[in-house]
Amino acid sequence: MRIAVIEDNETLANAIAYRLRDRGHAADVLHDGDEADAFLARDGADLVVLDINLPGRSGLEVLRGIRARGDGSPVILLTARSDTSDRVAGLDMGADDYLVKPFEMDELEARIRALSRRKDLDYGARESFGALEFDRATRQVMERGTALDIPRRELAVLECLLERRGRIVPKSQLTDHVYGTGADVDDTAVEPHVSRLRRRLADHGVSIKTARGLGYMLEVKG
């Protein structure tokens, strides 16, 4: 998934992002409420980890903006122990869960997995393309019930292209999805992942077209 981590404590935010990336997710790190609201309105996220106390607009204001736009992405609030009223307000406003600081990373991961399963039920756990199926719950590509061995960064490329099937996806957008917005990597870093994924899919009725200077597009034969 592409997860937005919105937390003004840079050490904590980077620790969360490191753990998420290690588990195969793309993590976008933001430290300011105004910046976060603009980012989510523009790019969105599959899931949001949101601190309540932020510079600029508060986490609750960011949450209000998410729901006002009709965005149903799961939101986990991060709160201090004394913020009971804010937790209640956040849940009433549409947050899906909350964690009280300090917390264990294992618990955050477990809550993310639970919300991910709930989202998969909402949007359909499997998507067919060509002779293949993508199982969103397990993040596996299946052919007639057998999982193909595809590395996690190639899977991230596939997820991004599938979500925008039939449209050109800019290379920068793929790079952000794979590595997270603000990651210290050049857009060319995604090229070998696209190339290897293209070869894996070629025999299954699926191709990845290159639009020079624009990006890539997933096409299904027939």
The residue among 201 and 126 whose pLDDT is bigger is 201
* Bigger pLDDT: 191 vs 213: 191
Yes or no: say if 82 and 101 are a contact pair by the CB < 8 Å rule.
no
Q: Is the pLDDT at 16 greater than 90, yes or no?
A: yes
**What is the pTM (predicted TM-score) of this model?**
0.62
Binned at pLDDT 50, 70 and 90, residue 182 comes out as low
Band (pLDDT 50/70/90 cuts) for residue 127 is confident
For range 51-76, the mean pLDDT: 92
Average pLDDT over residues 102-107: 92
Q: Of residues 88 and 184, which shows the higher confidence score?
A: 88
Interacting residues of 101 by C-beta distance below 8 A, sequence separation 6+: 12, 78, 79, 80, 81
Average pLDDT over residues 14-23: 90
When pLDDT is cut at 50, 70 and 90, the band that residue 47 belongs to is very high
Which is nearest to 108 in space by CA: 100, 138, 94, 180?
100
Average pLDDT over residues 79-89: 80
**pLDDT bracket for residue 183 (50, 70, 90):** low
pLDDT at 121 over 60: no
